[in-house]
C-alpha cells in the first residue's frame, strides 16, 4: 500500500465536439472528501497521446496513493467496471493533440494485457445494492481510456506497487446526449457511483 492516506481519482479533459467530460466533472465533486480515513485527491488528465503516460506516472510518484481509480467517458448506459487493459492504441477519432494512432503498442516491452487491481465484483455488488446501473466490462476500448488503464497497471507492475488500481468508465451526461441516440446518466448518480467505488476500495485496504 502507498505511504499516504490518499486515494487518487483521475478523469479526462473534454474531447471531440464536447465542452464537458463527465469523468472529471464527477471526480471534481469528490475532491478533498474523506472516505474511511482516506482523502480523495483528484487530477485531470490531458487527452493527448504522448502526455497520458507521464501524467499518471507523475501523479502516482508525487502522491504515493493508497489506491488509484482512473475514470473516463463511454457511450454506454451503465457504470462500466473495466476488467482488462490491452497493449494497443487504435483511435477511431483523433486525440486532442491531433494524433490518431493505428495498431500502435503502448509499451513495446510490455505484456499484451493487465487485469484490473480493483475489487470489481465487490464494487459491482455495492453499486447494484445502491440501485446504480453497472456492469463488469471486458473491453476498455483502444483509445485514451484503455491507454491510461494500461499505463497505470504497467507502472504499478514495474514498480511492484501493492495497491488497488484500475479503471471505471462512466456514461455521458444528459446534456451530451441531446439530439443523439446516446445513453446518459445524471451527474449526481455518476458521483454516487464513484463514491461507492472509492468507499468499497477504501474498506478493503489493509
pLDDT tens, residue by residue, 80-133: 999 999 999 999 999 999 999 999 999 999 999 999 999 999 999 999 999 999
Catalytic one of 27, 43, 169, 172:
169
Does 2 score more than 70 pLDDT? no
Of these residues, 145, 151, 172, 195, which one is catalytic? 145
For residue 10 the three cell numbers come to 483521475
Res 206: pLDDT: 65
Write out the three cell numbers for 23: 469523468
The reported pTM is: 0.96
Cα–Cα distance, 193 to 75 (Å, whole number): 17
Please write the tens of the pLDDT for every residue from 170-185.
999 999 988 888 899 9
Domain boundaries defined on the chain:
6-204
Concerning whether 169 is annotated as a catalytic residue, the answer is yes
Catalytic site residue from 27, 59, 70, 82 = 82
pLDDT at 181: 84
Rounded distance between C-alpha atoms, residue 145 and residue 125, angstroms: 23
How far is 97 from 201, CA to CA, in rounded Å? 33
Q: Is the pLDDT of residue 18 over 90?
A: no
**Which CATH code is given to the segment(s) 6-204?**
3.40.630.20
- What DSSP state is assigned to residue 173? P
CB of 69 closer than 8 Å to CB of 118: yes
Angle at 169 between CA 164 and CA 171, to 5 degrees: 150
Query: Is 59 marked active-site?
Result: no
Alpha helices in 5-73 (DSSP H): 22-29, 52-63
The total number of residues written for the chain in this structure: 206
The DSSP output letter for 13 is P
Amino acid at each position: 500500500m502507498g505511504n499516504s492516506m490518499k486515494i487518487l481519482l483521475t478523469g479526462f479533459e473534454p474531447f471531440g465536439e464536447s465542452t464537458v467530460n463527465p469523468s472529471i466533472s464527477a471526480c471534481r465533486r469528490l475532491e478533498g472528501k474523506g472516505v474511511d480515513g482516506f482523502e480523495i485527491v483528484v487530477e485531470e488528465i490531458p487527452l493527448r497521446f504522448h502526455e497520458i503516460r507521464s501524467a499518471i506516472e507523475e501523479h502516482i510518484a508525487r502522491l504515493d496513493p493508497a489506491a488509484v481509480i482512473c475514470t473516463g467517458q463511454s457511450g454506454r448506459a451503465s457504470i462500466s467496471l473495466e476488467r482488462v487493459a490491452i497493449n494497443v492504441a487504435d483511435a477511431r477519432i483523433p486525440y486532442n493533440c491531433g494524433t490518431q494512432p493505428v495498431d500502435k503498442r503502448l509499451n513495446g516491452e510490455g505484456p499484451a494485457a493487465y487485469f484490473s487491481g480493483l475489487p470489481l465484483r465487490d464494487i459491482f455488488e455495492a453499486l447494484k445494492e445502491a440501485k446504480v446501473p453497472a456492469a463488469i466490462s471486458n473491453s476498455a476500448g483502444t483509445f485514451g481510456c484503455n491507454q491510461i488503464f494500461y499505463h497505470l497497471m504497467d507502472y504499478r507492475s514495474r514498480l511492484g506497487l501493492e495497491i488497488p488500481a484500475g479503471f471505471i468508465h462512466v456514461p455521458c451526461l444528459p446534456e451530451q446526449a441531446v439530439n443523439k441516440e446516446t445513453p446518459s446518466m445524471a451527474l449526481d448518480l455518476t458521483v454516487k457511483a464513484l463514491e461507492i467505488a472509492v468507499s468499497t476500495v477504501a474498506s478493503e485496504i489493509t
